[in-house]
């Protein structure tokens, strides 16, 4: 994401900041203007009291901000460790919601869309009550153990995954939601099926087969991850997550002194709204190669441990096309509240 400035003194501030570290002005993120505002006069989200949200409320109808209104179940804060887990979860979730707003996709709560609206359930696992992270008709469940670094790393190793993060979970699960509202029954469905396969294949059976047998031989040629091989819906959700990884990280890089325009041959105005998919890719590949090398020199894992083959690029291109189409349609319906000028300024 782009850099933010303190509205009082101009100091660089971060997306998660509650105060300016230079002048101590209380800060809130205003999701309509996509900018940091001084808290005075702004109405802060109720979850600020738990340091779980620094957004301003955007409507008179709720004491919660646009991101927190989507919560249905939050962790039981009387249990030790849950406050810190929840804060990490909210931080990742708020980044994902920011992504959706920048992409211009419709973000609807359960109250606004009772059949498909987004609702988050952040649940603890107990003996006999397993919690599976997943999506079902707008309802997104997250096992809060994923907020514990050691737990998540153990699961990552056990599943042979090169990358497992909270923000990655959110970008994946929300991908299922947008499949439902953008592709189910749409004229673009045959093109989806040609690229990703027939999603009418039995989902439970497909997942069971994947967990028993692992991915097919040579899967890297056609899939971004082993998990993407399990079912066309999972392939879509993985590609959707990667598309957001790409535009979100390019957006951050665009504001840093990296000479990205020189690397890619062209400067991107707004990666989230870029219509030229090849321009995104031309910037993304050299950026990931450079940052992976930087990570290796510090002895940490690659920031982007994935290979984009022509077949995977074709799928990412399709995600890009669907997202841009949905954003343009939402804009025409006047549904997008974000002030474009503020973002590209
Ligand atoms: Zn300041
Ligand atoms: Zn909030
Ligand atoms: Zn999934």
pLDDT digits (tens, 9 = 90+) for 329-340: 999 988 765 555
Alpha-carbon distances, residue 123 vs 5, 146, 292, 344 (angstroms): 35, 10, 34, 37
Q: Ligand 2 mean position to 318 CA, how many Å?
A: 32
**Does pLDDT of 109 surpass 70?**
yes
pLDDT digits (tens, 9 = 90+) for 75-86: 999 999 999 999
pTM reported for the whole predicted model: 0.95
**How much is the pLDDT for 214?**
94
pLDDT digits (tens, 9 = 90+) for 273-301: 999 999 999 999 999 999 999 999 999 99
d(CA 133, CA 124): 11
Which ligand number lies closest to the CA of residue 235?
A: 3
Residue entry with tokens 């920031």 = 303
Q: Ligand 2 mean position to 278 CA, how many Å?
A: 36
Mean pLDDT for the chain overall: 93
**Does pLDDT of 249 surpass 50?**
yes
Q: How many helices (H) and strands (E) does the chain have?
A: 10, 8
Q: Ligand 1 mean position to 28 CA, how many Å?
A: 12
Strand partners, 12: 5
Structure tokens at 163: 């990358």
What residues flank ion ligand 1 with Cβ within 5 A?
Answer: 6, 8-9, 11, 20, 22-23, 25
Task: Kindly state the average pLDDT of the residues 297-307.
Answer: 95
Q: Ligand 1 mean position to 126 CA, how many Å?
A: 44
**How much is the pLDDT for 60?**
84
pLDDT tier, 345 (very low <50, low <70, confident <90, very high otherwise): very low
Q: Ligand 2 mean position to 78 CA, how many Å?
A: 20
Residue entry with tokens 């709204």 = 273
Structure tokens at 190: 């045959």
Neighbours of 262 (CB within 10 A): 10
**Does pLDDT of 227 surpass 70?**
yes
Q: Ligand 2 mean position to 148 CA, how many Å?
A: 22
Q: Ligand 1 mean position to 12 CA, how many Å?
A: 8
Domain ranges of the chain: 1-58, 67-177, 183-330
d(CA 133, CA 173): 8
Structure tokens at 249: 């990280």
Q: Ligand 3 mean position to 237 CA, how many Å?
A: 6
Does residue 221 sit in helix, strand or coil? helix
**How much is the pLDDT for 39?**
74
């Amino acid at each position: 994401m782009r850099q933010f400035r303190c509205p009082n003194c101009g100091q660089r501030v971060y997306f998660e900041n509650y105060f300016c570290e230079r002048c101590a002005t209380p800060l809130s993120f205003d999701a309509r203007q996509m900018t940091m505002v001084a808290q005075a006069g702004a109405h802060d989200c109720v979850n600020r009291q738990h340091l779980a949200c620094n957004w301003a409320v955007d409507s008179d109808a709720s004491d919660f901000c646009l991101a927190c209104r989507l919560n249905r179940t939050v962790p039981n804060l009387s249990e030790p460790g849950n406050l810190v887990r929840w804060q990490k979860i909210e931080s990742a979730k708020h980044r994902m919601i920011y992504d959706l707003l920048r992409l211009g996709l419709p973000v609807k709560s359960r109250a606004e869309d009772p059949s498909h609206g987004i609702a988050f359930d952040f649940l603890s696992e107990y003996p006999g009550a397993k919690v599976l992270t997943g999506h079902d008709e707008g309802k997104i469940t997250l096992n809060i153990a994923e907020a514990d670094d050691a737990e998540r790393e153990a699961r990552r190793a056990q599943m042979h995954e090169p990358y497992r993060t909270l923000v990655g979970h959110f970008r994946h699960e929300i991908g299922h939601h947008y499949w439902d509202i953008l592709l189910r029954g749409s004229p673009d469905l045959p093109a989806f099926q040609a690229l990703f396969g027939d999603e009418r294949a039995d989902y439970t059976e497909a997942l069971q087969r994947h967990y028993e047998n692992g991915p097919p031989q040579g899967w890297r040629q056609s899939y971004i991850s082993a998990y993407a091989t399990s079912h066309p819906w999972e392939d879509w959700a993985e590609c959707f997550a990667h598309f957001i990884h790409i535009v979100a990280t390019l957006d951050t890089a665009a504001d840093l002194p990296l000479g990205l325009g020189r690397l890619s041959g062209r400067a991107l105005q707004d990666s989230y709204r870029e219509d030229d998919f090849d321009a995104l890719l031309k910037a993304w590949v050299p950026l990931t190669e450079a940052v992976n090398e930087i990570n290796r020199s510090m002895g940490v894992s690659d920031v982007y441990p994935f290979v984009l083959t022509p077949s995977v690029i074709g799928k990412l291109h399709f995600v890009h096309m669907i997202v841009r189409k949905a954003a343009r349609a939402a804009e025409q319906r006047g549904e997008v509240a974000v002030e474009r000028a503020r973002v590209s300024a």
